[in-house]
Structure 1
Amino acid sequence: MSQLSLKLWGVRGSTPTPGAGTLRYGGETTCFEFRAGEDAILIDCGSGARNLGVELHAAPPRAFDLFFTHTHLDHICGLPFFTPAYDDRFSITAWAGHFADRSGLMDIICRIMSPPIFPVAANKLRAVSFRNFRSGDTVERGDGIALRTVALNHPGGATGYRLDHFGKSICIITDHEHGNAEIDKAVRRFVEGADVMIYDAMYTDAEYDRFVGWGHSTWQKGVELALDAGVACPVLFHHDPRRTDDELDAIGEAAAKRHPGTLVAREGMVLNP
């Protein structure tokens, strides 16, 4: 039986944050790498994807899927620097499910990869093909891996993912704002009993009133959801770019008192449920 694992290549929200205050938790934006035996599934292509691409490009060429939670800049800015995407020995199927209109993933990538914004056009991504689905669908893979999806509450839409593999489960719930009763109920059902839940903990409860409608949640709501839904290991994620390592240490200590086993996402962290 192949082991399920998740590696975090970027854990920061909104914008990369290099500097002395973010060295321990990391400053790269969202990028996840699932592994199940020889299978790889990537989720999001923020700035953390650059380093992942270097590692993948040093290995033999392969086929894999790249799923996007949504297409805000911090989740797609790594694609122009993701070297396997330019190498047609690889085969990368890029997916998105959050579009409410006739927009397509390729349309969005073409916007950021066009002069004068960027000098290399999207058609140079020779390894990449683009596909859409609808949030709430299950994406059939045929390799023993079930990938379920759920709509999240975020400006412009976003998709959460749940990967189940031989009785183990990992959920990705970012970017998401609590407070929509219908969506919250669906998310609670979606994450129920999960071994690991990555959760958007951009703010604290004390900060949240200033940012209502911005599309993000709090670490307290993440812990509350995990306790209610029987999630074994909530992982606080999408750190505010202003948040220092010391502040994240304090949040982690407080969260673990409420839900022992809670983790604060750290760049390079590998989770094996």
Structure 2
Amino acid sequence: MPSGVPPRFRIRFWGTRGTCPSPGPRTVRYGGNTPCVELRAADGGLLILDAGTGIRALGAHLMSDGDDRTAHIFLSHRHSDHVLGLSHFAPLITQTRAIEICCGDGESASLQPFVDALLSPPMFPYVDGIRSRLDVCDWDLSSAREVGTSRVHRFAAQHPGEAAVLRIDDAHGPAVAYAPDNELAYADESEAAEAWRVRLTAFLRDVPVLIHDATYLESELPKHVGWGHSSSLEATRLAIACGAGMLVLFHHHPDRDDDTIERMVEESRAMAAAAGSALRVLAAWEGLALTV
């Protein structure tokens, strides 16, 4: 971002881990909370990508920031690691601001019964009025969803049970793409797989920041075909192909220690350099703040 130019979006990571929370000494640097990413648009719009356990800390932060504008939560899909924190999101409990939630996974079932189940016994104790405080929206996936000057587009990811790759645009075009659960499967050279990757690459073309699933090492891929996740080097290959400015490795495996994640970053940077790409690569950690 050139000096003196206001950022299009401010990005902050509150949860970066996949599958299940994994606190402990081996995950201190990159964090153990499950997916939650905060986007602040130039017009002040608040977009929250996923409601994993990281949303609890975000909720506490929002309680103290003095801003009461609507929080728009976009779920990439409904798996537990992406929704576990919703019932512990402080603004929802205290009703300090309007909250809207929608999901881009493409499932035909309405989101309302799913959210009701998350916020009701036996999943969560009865709290008077909590379900009515949340505006649950069914997303017409044939069109973008607008939040002020931001537009949220979705693309069907390769993940069991359906999931979405989300791309957030503003008046200047694509700004941030979010693909927390997405199996690129470059080993699959079938016509269908190749065609899907071509469409995905076009959807992500020239995005400044790509946040992508990097659950596996290359050596782990053969045993996890069809599990719906990618390796860090596969994510790097995609980022180079689509011309992304920055790749943020995300959805770290719950058993992945900090040192191994750092080696994965180094391998991805070496891959980009060997390809002659100017791609910047880093791994998401809790508290990481970026601007576009």
- Partner residue in 1 for 2:245: 232
- Partner residue in 2 for 1:124: 130
Partner deviation per Cα, 1:197-221 (whole Å, 9 max, x = no partner): 0010101121011111111111111
- Partner residue in 1 for 2:118: 112
Q: 1:73 aligns with which of 80, 96, 105?
A: 80
Q: Which amino acid aligns with 2:83?
A: I
1:203 and 1:209 mapped to 2: Cα distance? 10
Question: Which 5+ residue runs of structure 1 have no aligned equivalent?
Answer: none
Q: Is it true that 1:49 corresponds to 2:62 in the alignment?
A: no
- Partner residue in 2 for 1:218: 231
Q: Which amino acid aligns with 2:202?
A: R
Identity of aligned residues (%): 31
Matched residue of 1:66: which SS?
Answer: strand
Q: Map of 1:189-208 to 2, 5 A cutoff?
A: 189-208=202-221
- Partner residue in 2 for 1:252: 265
Question: Which 5+ residue runs of structure 2 have no aligned equivalent?
Answer: 186-192, 273-278
1:205 and 1:22 mapped to 2: Cα distance? 21
- Partner residue in 2 for 1:62: 69
1:220 and 1:89 mapped to 2: Cα distance? 42
Q: Which amino acid aligns with 1:214?
A: W
Q: Closer, same or farther in 2 for the Cα pair 1:129/1:9, shift >3 Å?
A: same
1:153 and 1:64 mapped to 2: Cα distance? 28
Asked if the contact 1:85/1:126 (under 8 Å) is kept, the reply is: no
1:245 and 1:126 mapped to 2: Cα distance? 40
Which is further off, 239-248 or 108-117?
A: 108-117
- Partner residue in 2 for 1:8: 13
Matched residue of 2:26: which SS?
Answer: helix
Q: Which amino acid aligns with 1:140?
A: E
* 1:29 Cα offset (Å): 0.4
TM-score by length of 1: 0.93
Matched residue of 2:52: which SS?
Answer: coil
Partner deviation per Cα, 1:36-72 (whole Å, 9 max, x = no partner): 2322111100000000000111233221211100010
Asked if the contact 1:9/1:267 (under 8 Å) is kept, the reply is: yes
Matched residue of 1:132: which SS?
Answer: coil
Q: Which amino acid aligns with 1:228?
A: A
Q: CA RMSD in A?
A: 1.8
Q: Is it true that 1:174 corresponds to 2:193 in the alignment?
A: no
TM-score by length of 2: 0.87
* 1:2 Cα offset (Å): 4.6
- Partner residue in 2 for 1:96: 103
2:6 and 2:101 mapped to 1: Cα distance? 24
1:27 and 1:227 mapped to 2: Cα distance? 28
Which is further off, 233-242 or 180-189?
A: 180-189
Q: Closer, same or farther in 2 for the Cα pair 1:122/1:22, shift >3 Å?
A: farther
Which is further off, 196-205 or 168-177?
A: 168-177
* 1:123 Cα offset (Å): 4.8
* 1:121 Cα offset (Å): 5.6
Matched residue of 2:101: which SS?
Answer: strand
Asked if the contact 1:86/1:126 (under 8 Å) is kept, the reply is: no
* 1:25 Cα offset (Å): 0.5
Q: Which amino acid aligns with 1:21?
A: R
Which is further off, 174-183 or 119-128?
A: 119-128
2:14 and 2:234 mapped to 1: Cα distance? 24
Q: Which amino acid aligns with 1:164?
A: D
* 1:136 Cα offset (Å): 5.2
* 1:115 Cα offset (Å): 2.3
Q: 1:151 aligns with which of 156, 166, 176?
A: 156
